Structure 1
Amino acid sequence: MDSEYRIILNVGGVRHETYKHTLKKIPATRLSRLTTNLANYDPVLNEYFFDRHPGVFSQILNYYRTGKLHYPLDVCGPLFEEELKYWGLDSNECEPCCWMTLSGTRDTQEVLKTLDELDIEVDNDDGPELYQRFGWEDDFHNDSLSSWQKLKPKIWRLFDEPSSSRGAKVIAIISVFFLITAILVFCLKTHPGLRISEISSVFNSSREVRAASHYRYRPTTVSVDKTNSKAHPGFMVNFPFNTSFQKKLRCLFSRDPIEKSLLMFMVETLCNMWFTIEILVRFICCPSRIEYLKAPVNLIDIVATVTFYIDVLINTFGASADLEFFSIIRIMRLFKLTHHNSGLKILMHTFRASAKELMLLVFFLVLGVVVFASLVYYAERVEPNPDNEFQSIPIGLWWAHLQLPHSVFMYSSKTCFVMGIPTVVFLTFPYLKGVLYHSADNWPTSLF
C-alpha cells in the first residue's frame, strides 16, 4: 500500500508527511539515514520527532522534493545556516536567485566580527574579560589580585576606552582639545605675521640672517634694540616661565610677532606635556607593550612628541641642526582622532577591508593612463611638430597620470577628465557607501 512508503516527521510540533524515497534523494544527510531504531522515533504515533525550527524545515523538505534550495526571507541568516548544518546540508547549494541574500548575511557576520574586534561598544563591567586581556583571569577568579593589578586595567580603560566611563569621556575630551590646539598652533605659527627672524650668535656672525617659520634663539647674549628688530635670541627661555601672568595675557592682543610667537610656544609646550603624560600612562598600563608599539597611531604620537623635545634641546644648546622637516609628523597626530571616534575607526577598517576593490580601481586608473599616454604620443607623431613635448610614451604616462584626475582647459585633458572622474567617483563611492551603511548603521554614537 502507499502508506507503507510514507513517513511522518514532527518538527517543532508541526507534522510533515512525505515519502521515504524522497528523503533518499540527497544521500549522506540526517533525513536519508532515518531508521526505526533511532531514539527520536515514536512507535505509537509512528513518527520521528525533531525539536528544531519548523519554518526552516519547510524549505529543507522542499529541497528534498524539488532539488532546489531557496533562502527564506522570514528568518535570520545565521539561524538558517545553523539549521542546514544540523540536517547535514550545505548552504552553498542555494539557488542563484538567493546568492545575494546569502552573501549579504555572511558579509554582515564578518562586519559584526570586525566591529567587535574594534571595541566600538565597550562594556562597563570590570569582569573577567577585562583582566583576561592582561593575563590575570586566574588571579581574578581566585580573588588574589594585588592593588596594582586592580588599578592598572582601570587606568588603561580610562585612557584607551573613551566610552567606558564618564571619567574616560572627560579624558578623551581633554585629549582631543589638546590635539586640535596643537594642530592649530602648528598651522598658525607659519603665518607671515607670526614668523620671526633668526639671529645668529656672535660666534656664528658669518651666517646670514634669514626668516624662520619656527622658534629660534641662541643661548649667547645678544643686544637687540626691539625698535629696529623683532628678534630676541633668548625669548624661549626667559619669557614663558619668568614673566608675570598679566604680561603673558597681553601677548594674546599684542601686535608684536615675537610676543605672539612666545604665546604659541607656551601653548605648544603645554600640549606636548599632556601628550607626554598620555604616552607614558598608556605605555605603562597597556596590556602588551609590544602590541602598543606596533600600533601606527601610537608610533606617530611618540615620534611627534620626541621631535618637539629634540627641537627644543637643539635650539637651547645652539646647535645648527634643522628638524623643521620632521615637524610634519606632528600634523599626522590627526590620526589619533580614530581612537576617539567610532565612525573614523569604521572608515579606516573599510579601506583595509576594501583592499581588493581599491586595487581594482587602481588597475582601471593605470589602464586609463596607459591608453591616453599612448594615444597622445602617436597623435603628436601624425604630423611633424618641432615643439612636440611628447618624445616618448613614458613622458605621456607622466602627463596622463597628472591630467586623469584633474580638469584643465585643454581639449585632450578634458577627454582624460571626462573619463577619469566617472572612474574615480562611480567605482569608489557606491562601494564605500554600501560598506559604511552596513557596518556603521545603528551602532552606538561616538564621542562627537
Structure 2
Amino acid sequence: PQIPLAPSLPPSAALRGSRPPPRPRPSPPPQYVAFASLFFILISITTFCLETHEAFNRVINKTETVTTGNETGTQVAVEVETEPFLTYVEGLCVVWFTFEFLMRVSFCPDKRDFVKSSLNIIDFVAILPFYLEVGLRGLSSKAAKDVLGFLRVVRFVRILRIFKLTRHFVGLRVLGHTLRASTNEFLLLVIFLALGVLIFATMIYYAERIGADPDDVTGSRHTYFKNIPIGFWWAVVTMTTLGYGDMYPMTWSGMLVGALCALAGVLTIAMPVPVIVNNFGMYYSLAMAKQKLPKKKNKHIPRPPQPGSPGFGSPGADAPGSPRGARRPPACPLAQEEVVEINRAGERRALGLGWGWGGHGGGLGGLGGVWGGSA
C-alpha cells in the first residue's frame, strides 16, 4: 500500500511566512502627539517674536548694593523685563520639548545615529539656554550676571525650532533634498558672484575718478565710492537687482559700469537657477507620487531578502528583477526615507514599542498620511 504524502503548501503560502508583516497604520496616540508637537513649535516661535515687541517689555529700576574696598554703597540699575506670562508660556513649551526629547532618546534603537542627527542637535541647543537662564537668575555674583547676559543674547537659537517642522511637512524635506542635490550649482553661483563683485567694485572705483576735481587729491570728494571694499556692497546689491539706493554712481562712466554690472548680475543668477528649479520639481513630483501610493507600500518598494527567505545572501538578491552584477542607479533620497521608515517600523514591532517613538531623525512615527512625514 502507498503511504499518503503530506499535503504540500502552494509556493505563495510557503513564501508568506518569510515575508515581513504588513506595515501597520498609525494609532491615534502618535497622531495626537504629532499635532501637539506642531502646536508647541508654533506657540514657541510666536512667543519668541512677541518678546521683542515694546508692548510686552517694561523698564524697571533695581537697587543693588555695591562694595568697593571698605566702602559699601547702592547703585540703581535699569533693566528691561519681559512680561511674566510670556516666560511662563515659553517654560511650558520647553517642558514639552524636554519630554519629547527624552522620549526619543529612550526609545531610539541607535543612540549613535540619534546624536549625529542635526535636528536632534538643534532640539538640545534650543532647550539648554532656558534651564541655564532659570538656574542663574537667582544668583547675584558678577560672573553669574555675565553668563545670564550672554544667555539672553543667544536667545535667538530658539528660532532654530522652526526646522523641527521638517518632520511634519514633506515640502520642507523636499526643499532640503533639493539644496543638497544642488550643491554644485550653488557653489558655481557663489563663484560667479564673487568674481563679478570683485571686477565691478574695482571698475566703479576707478570710473568714478574720471573727471574728478583737479584740486581734490583723493578724487573721491564727489562720490560715494571712497575705496574698493565699499564698492563690494554696491556690486552685490546691483548684481542681485536689489538696488537699495544708498550708493549710486555720480559720473557718466560710473553709470555705464553700473549698467554693465546689473546686466551681468541677471545673466549670472539666471544660469544655475533652472538646474535648481528642475531638481526641486523632480523631488517634489516623487514626493507627491509617494503620497498617492496605496496604503500597502511594501508591494511597491523592493525590500532586501529577509533571513530564511529564498535567495537570501545571493549576489543578486539585493536587486530584484535585475541581472547579477548589474550596476544599480543611485537611490532617490525620498525612496531611501521610505525604506528606512519601513525598517524602523519593523524594529519597533520586534522591540514591542508600538507607540511610535524613535528613529535617528527624531521624528514621530505616527504622522502617516496626515502630514506626509517620516521619522
TM superposition score category, shorter chain reference: 0.5 to 0.7
Partner residue, 2:339: none
**Aligned with residue 77 of structure 2, among 180, 195, 208:** 208
Take 1:164 and 1:339, find their aligned partners in 2: how far apart are those partners?
A: 15
Cα distance in structure 2, aligned partners of 1:436 and 1:446: 22
After TM superposition, the structure 1 = structure 2 runs for residues 314-353 of structure 1, keeping only pairs within 5 Å, are 314-318=136-140, 319-320=144-145, 321-322=148-149, 323-353=151-181
CA contact (8 A) 1:169 1:447 kept: no
2:276 alignment partner AA: L
Q: Deviations over 1:80-131 (max 9, x none)?
A: xxxxxxxxxxxxxxxxxxxxxxxxxxxxxxxxxxxxxxxxxxx9726xxxxx
Change (3 A) 1:386 1:423: closer
Q: Does 1:433 align with 2:357?
A: no
Match status 1:423 vs 2:347: no
Structure 2 equivalent of residue 187 of structure 1: 49
When residues 308 and 422 of structure 1 are mapped into structure 2, their CA distance, relative to the original with a 3 A threshold, is farther
1:393 aligns with 2:317: no
Question: For 1:324 and 1:311, how far apart are their aligned partners in 2?
Answer: 8
Structure 2: stretches of 5+ with no match in the other structure: 1-20, 67-73, 213-218, 250-254, 292-368
Is 1:313 matched up with 2:135? yes
Residues 197, 209 of structure 1: 8 Å contact kept? yes
Tell me the CA shift for residue 184 of structure 1: 0.2
Question: Which secondary structure state, in structure 1, belongs to the residue aligned with residue 77 of structure 2?
Answer: coil
C-alpha change, 1:392 and 1:199, in structure 2 (3 Å) is: closer
Which residue in the other structure is 1:447 paired with?
Answer: 371
- 1:293 CA drift (Å): 1.6
Greater Rg, structure 1 or structure 2?
Answer: 1
Give 2:188's aligned amino acid: L
Q: CA deviation at 1:303?
A: 1.2
Rate the CA distance shift 1:358–1:182 in 2: closer, same or farther, 3 A. same
Root-mean-square deviation (Å)? 2.6
User: Which letter does structure 1 place at the counterpart of 2:110?
Assistant: S
Tell whether the 8 Å contact from 1:342 to 1:446 is kept in structure 2 after alignment: no
Amino acid at match of 1:195: N
Amino acid at match of 2:201: A
Helix, strand or coil at the partner of 1:324: helix
C-alpha spacing 1:207/1:179, structure 2 compared with 1 (3 Å) = same
Q: Go from structure 1 to structure 2 and tell me whether the alpha carbon gap of 1:383 and 1:299 turns closer, same or farther (over 3 Å shift).
A: same
How many residues end up aligned between the 2 structures?
242
CA contact (8 A) 1:181 1:271 kept: yes
Identify the residue that residue 243 of structure 2 maps to in structure 1.
407
Preserved CA contact (<8 Å) 2:168 2:371: yes
User: 1:172-200, CA deviations, whole angstroms, 9 ceiling, x for partnerless residues?
Assistant: 11101000100100111211111022442
Query: 1: CA distance between counterparts of 2:60 and 2:264?
Result: 50
Residues 271 and 394 of structure 1: CA distance in aligned 2, closer, same or farther (over 3 Å): same
Alignment of 1:1-400 (within 5 A): 125=23, 164-203=26-65, 205-210=74-79, 212=80, 214-215=81-82, 261-318=83-140, 319-320=144-145, 321-322=148-149, 323-384=151-212, 385-387=219-221, 388-400=223-235
Task: Identify if the C-alpha distance between structure 1 residues 353 and 124 changes in structure 2 by more than 3 Å, giving closer, same or farther.
Answer: farther
1:271–1:291 Cα change, 3 Å: same
What is the TM-score of this pair, normalised by structure 2? Answer: 0.58
Partner Cα distance (1:310, 1:326) in 2: 12
In 2, Cα distance between the equivalents of 1:414 and 1:315?
56
Distance 1:166 1:423 in 2: 51
Q: What residue identity is the alignment partner of 1:287?
A: P
> What is the one-letter code of the residue matched to 2:371?
L
1:422 and 1:198 mapped to 2: Cα distance?
55
